[in-house]
Structure 1
Amino acid sequence: MSSNINFQTIDWSAIASSVHLGETGEAFWQTIQFPGLRIRIVEYSAGYLADHWCQKGHIVHCLEGEFVSELQSGEAFTLTKGMTYVVSDELSSHRSISKDGVKLLIIDGDFLK
């Protein structure tokens, strides 16, 4: 099976949204899945706190708003519009917190193992 992706555009307005409950608040995901690659627009509601510590690798780019990426080690990083973080699988347990809501572009996949 080829993992190559032919040129294509994504009209995010045509991609259905799914709801994922946090410990508090909600996350709304619009997801495109390719073999070994997932691309999402994710919006966290105001008051969002993830319900788990994530071990997966991601590239997370803040499109609008602000959020905190908290590491299980106790470190916390505030990301605002235009900022990005990158982490590989199994390297840093992390979770997201959003006081006022945020819109993110998240890319993850096999290349982050």
Structure 2
Amino acid sequence: MQLPATPFTCLDWDAVTPQEYPGTTGTSYWRCFDSGDLRVRVVDYGPDFLADHWCDRGHVLHVISGELVVELADGREVPMKSGNSFCVSNNGDSAHRVRTTQGCQVFIVD
């Protein structure tokens, strides 16, 4: 990930209107900041959420609260809880998607 030229920006996430994104099951709500090719998000995954696609985009993801499971297309599953993070590159070692039973909030840079 290359960060584009971006001026110092303070983000008040409470002032960003969430956008609804349905999953295969459940719903997520994204609050996004975009600057060129950089996207920074706070995502709230609702209960019983399962992503509707396999993602091959690089991310840095940090779990703020709750728990989720990262499913990898090669069959691996990585449980994550509050305080855990992961990094994966574009077209990294395995496409991935997330699921959560109770819901969770994450911070993502991609």
Match of 2:88 in 1: 87
Moved over 4 A (4+): none
> How many Å apart are 1:8 and its aligned residue?
2.2
* RMSD (CA atoms): 0.7
Match of 2:108 in 1: 106
Question: 2-side partners of 1:42 and 1:107: how far apart?
Answer: 11
Match of 1:48 in 2: 49
Question: 2-side partners of 1:5 and 1:56: how far apart?
Answer: 21
> How many Å apart are 1:95 and its aligned residue?
0.4
Count of residue correspondences: 106
Gaps of 5+ in 1: 109-113
Gaps of 5+ in 2: none
Question: With structure 1 as the length reference, what TM-score do the two structures score?
Answer: 0.91
Q: Percent identity?
A: 35
Map 1:57-76 onto structure 2 (within 5 A): 57-76=58-77
CA deviations over 1:67-86 (Å, ceiling 9, x no partner): 00000111000111111000
